[in-house]
Amino acid sequence: MSTRMSTYPFRVLHCLRAPVGGLFRHVCDLAKAQSDAGYAVGVLCADKPNDRQTLERISELAKHCELGVTRIGLGRMPGFSDAKALMATTYKLRELKPDVLHGHGAKGGLLARCAPASEPLARIYTPHGGSIHYAPNSPVGLMFGLAERLMLKRTDGLILESDFARSIFEQRFGELPTNTQVVHNGLAESEFAPVSTKSDPADFLFLGEIRELKGIYTLLDAIAEIASKRPVTVDVAGDGPEMAAFTAAVETRSLSHSVRILGKVPARDAFARARAVVLPSHNDSFPYVALEAAAGGKPLIATSTGGIPEIFGPLADRLVEPGDAQALRVAMEQFLENEAEYIRDAGDLRTHVRDQFSLSCMANGVAGVYAHAAMERLGEPNGHSNTTSHAKLDAAE
């Protein structure tokens, strides 16, 4: 557990693109912890998607946002919408007068570091993978790489979610800001309640964004090989830009008897539907799915990419090579043949995650970066003086 850190009750505006997935979950957790600590918090994000589950989550988030939740047009790839989004962000800065502008992901980082502001503010960036997911020599990777190098000069605090991400940033983009910290994602104590498996469960669950870099087609390759020898069932929970293509691939490969596509399902409800969780990512940052599955005591088969080895810690030798369908198949078959061993490992992993990755540690790590950036950039947060009472950022667990 981290030492509690006293900081000013900042006015914070979080910026991100799509309010979905682990990045959005991180922002929600952080916003609530900051609000509980007395911060005035706001969120600015894209106006899509607008499905029922997303709208419900935004409504819940808004309860903790004194500065409100603002939704604007903002596309995934660079385009004209970026200029409009920067203008909309500038208007919001004039209205809200935050001390801290915290960008999450590539597009959130663009807004947080490039939106003009009429008053001084600390500009913070958390990549959540972002640009490092692209091959550095690809056209998109080169474009994002150039943008990162330029915007690092406008970054008052850089928060990386894993040691892996820090090493990649240093390797690709050179010297990092002085105020750079690794702050791992963390969970509330309530999330460590064991998940009970429902009757007649699937063998495996994939939970996440339906996107190639999450290893969805590698997973299909592994399923096809297993299904050719024995019955196997896999529930797929989530949504994403490749849902139509993935659904078609399931049909084309005659895997409908093995793969059931559920759409969006809350994590713990999804975990209860299967005996084990499979995370076949080609690239990932520090995925909440891995933390949540471990916290719930679910057997977890995952790849050795991004910060996942840091989550597994002493059990990292259980991880499989990303993109290797044969290695994934072997691990899945080993689970089917020796479930008891995987259940024992799941207990050990749960203990490790509980000891190392708490929400309070995460919130206080972020608070420390804010405090350093604010003193460097502002001297004092806007409107506060040395006599301002300090608030402990202590996440409720």
**Which of 396, 395, 397, 373 is closest to 10 using CA atoms?**
373
SS3 125: strand
CA distance 91 to 378: 21
DSSP 38-83: T-EEEEEEES----HHHHHHHHHHHTT-TT-EEEE---SSSSHHHH
Residue 147 clears pLDDT 80, i.e. is over it: yes
How sure is the predictor about 129, in pLDDT bands with cuts at 50, 70 and 90? confident
How sure is the predictor about 386, in pLDDT bands with cuts at 50, 70 and 90? very low
Provide mean pLDDT across the span 127-145.
84
CA distance 296 to 267: 10
Provide mean pLDDT across the span 85-105.
98
Q: Are 27 and 43 in contact (CB under 8 A)?
A: yes
- Phi/psi for 390 (5° steps) reads -85, 150
SS3 391: strand
The predicted structure's pLDDT at residue 77: 80
How sure is the predictor about 98, in pLDDT bands with cuts at 50, 70 and 90? very high
**Which of 214, 195, 197 is closest to 274 using CA atoms?**
197
**% of the chain residues with pLDDT over 70:** 93
Residue 137 clears pLDDT 50, i.e. is over it: yes
pTM over 0.85: yes
Residue 159 clears pLDDT 70, i.e. is over it: yes
Provide mean pLDDT across the span 247-263.
98
Identify which has the larger pLDDT, 130 or 84.
Answer: 84
Task: Sheet with 202-207: list strands edge to edge.
Answer: 259-263, 234-237, 202-207, 274-279, 300-302
- Mind listing the pLDDT tens digit for each residue in 43-76? 999 999 998 989 999 999 999 999 999 999 998 8
Beta carbons within 10 angstroms of residue 304's beta carbon = 16
- Mind listing the pLDDT tens digit for each residue in 261-315? 999 999 999 999 999 999 999 999 999 999 999 999 999 999 999 999 999 999 9
Residue 239 clears pLDDT 50, i.e. is over it: yes
Provide mean pLDDT across the span 192-219.
97
Identify which has the larger pLDDT, 213 or 131.
Answer: 213
CA distance 257 to 345: 29
Average of per-residue pLDDT values in the chain = 92
CA distance 328 to 308: 15
Residue 379 clears pLDDT 90, i.e. is over it: no
Residue 324 clears pLDDT 70, i.e. is over it: yes
How sure is the predictor about 380, in pLDDT bands with cuts at 50, 70 and 90? low
Domains annotated on the chain, with CATH: 6-186+358-387 (3.40.50.2000), 189-356 (3.40.50.2000)
Lowest mean pLDDT of 54-58, 380-384, 386-390, name the range: 386-390
Residue 382 clears pLDDT 60, i.e. is over it: no
The two tokens of residue 302 are 């995952």
The predicted structure's pLDDT at residue 393: 56
Residue with tokens 């960036």, as numbered in its chain: 125
| Calculated CA dihedral for residues 333, 339, 344, 348, nearest 10 degrees | 40
Lowest mean pLDDT of 13-27, 68-82, 156-170, name the range: 68-82
Residue 225 clears pLDDT 80, i.e. is over it: yes
Residue with tokens 């091959």, as numbered in its chain: 135
Tell me: cis bond preceding 49? Omega within 30 of 0 counts. yes
Provide mean pLDDT across the span 355-377.
95
Strand runs labelled E in the chain: 6-7, 11-15, 40-46, 69-72, 100-104, 122-126, 157-160, 180-182, 202-207, 234-237, 259-263, 274-279, 300-302, 391-392
How sure is the predictor about 141, in pLDDT bands with cuts at 50, 70 and 90? confident
Provide mean pLDDT across the span 209-235.
98
